[in-house]
Amino acid sequence: MKITIGHLYPELLNLYGDRGNIICLSKRLQWRGIDVQVKEFGLNDDIDFSALDIVFLGLGSDREQYLVCSKLKEIKTDFKEYVKQDGVVIAVCGGFQLLGHYYKLSNDMVEGLSVLDIYTEREKSRLIGNVVIKTDFLDRPVVGFENHAGRTYILQHKPLGTVVYGNGNNAADKKEGVIYKNVIGTYLHGPLLPKNPHLCDYIIKKALERRSGGPVELKELDDTAEIAANEYIVNRFCRT
C-alpha cells in the first residue's frame, strides 16, 4: 500500500516550520514499512484529489492567502467532494481559516471554501503562546504554539479540543480547532505533529483505513522522546 500526501501551495503557505508536519507524516509511515509519496502543488498545477490520501494546507501572510484563495475557488467543487468522500485534510492557521465561510479583515473580506462551518474575523491584537488542549478521541493532550490575529468561531462542527492552557480559536469559548469527518483544522504550529505523535498516527490511521476500506492496526513505534517532549510542555503549563 502507498499513501500519497498532497502539499498545497508550499511556496506560499509555509510559515512557522509547518513543513515539518509533512516530514513527520512521511517518516512515521516509512518507519512502518509503508510507501509514501509527497506531491507539492503550485498555483498553476492541476490537482487530482482522487489520487491523494492526505491533503495539507498551511499558513501564509494575508497577501499570500489572497492569492491562494483565488485558486481555491477554482478547485472548490473537487475539494468539497474529496472531503465528502472522507478524504483526510490537515489545515493549519491560514489554511484552517480558508476552509471556512470567510475571513473578515479590517477593510476587506476573504471568501473561503465553506468546507468547514466556521468563520473568522481579524482583531488588532494577536493571540500568541503555547497551547495545551484535550480531545475526546486521543489519550494524551495535544500541544502546540499559536500566533494569530484571527478569531475563529465554530457554528455546527465540533472543536478539535478544549483549551486547558492558551487561547485557542478566539480566546473566549475555550475551543481550539475543528474536527469534521476526516478534516482537522487548527491554529497550532510548532510544527504540530512532531510534538504529538498520537495525533499524527490518528491521521495516518484514517488515511490507511480509507485507502484499504477496512480497519487498520498501526505498528507501535518507540516514541519515548516525543512523549517526553509532549509531557514536558503539559507539565510546564498545566501545573495543578
Annotated catalytic sites, by residue? 93, 189
**Is the bond preceding residue 191 a cis peptide, omega within 30 degrees?**
yes
> Under DSSP, is residue 123 helix (H, G, I), strand (E, B) or coil?
strand
Residue type (1 letter), 214: G
What's the Cα-to-Cα distance from 126 to each of 21, 135, 148, 158, rounded to whole Å? 23, 24, 5, 24
Residue 163 grid coordinates:
483549551
Q: Judge whether 166 and 160 are in contact, CB under 8 Å.
A: no
Q: Judge whether 34 and 3 are in contact, CB under 8 Å.
A: yes
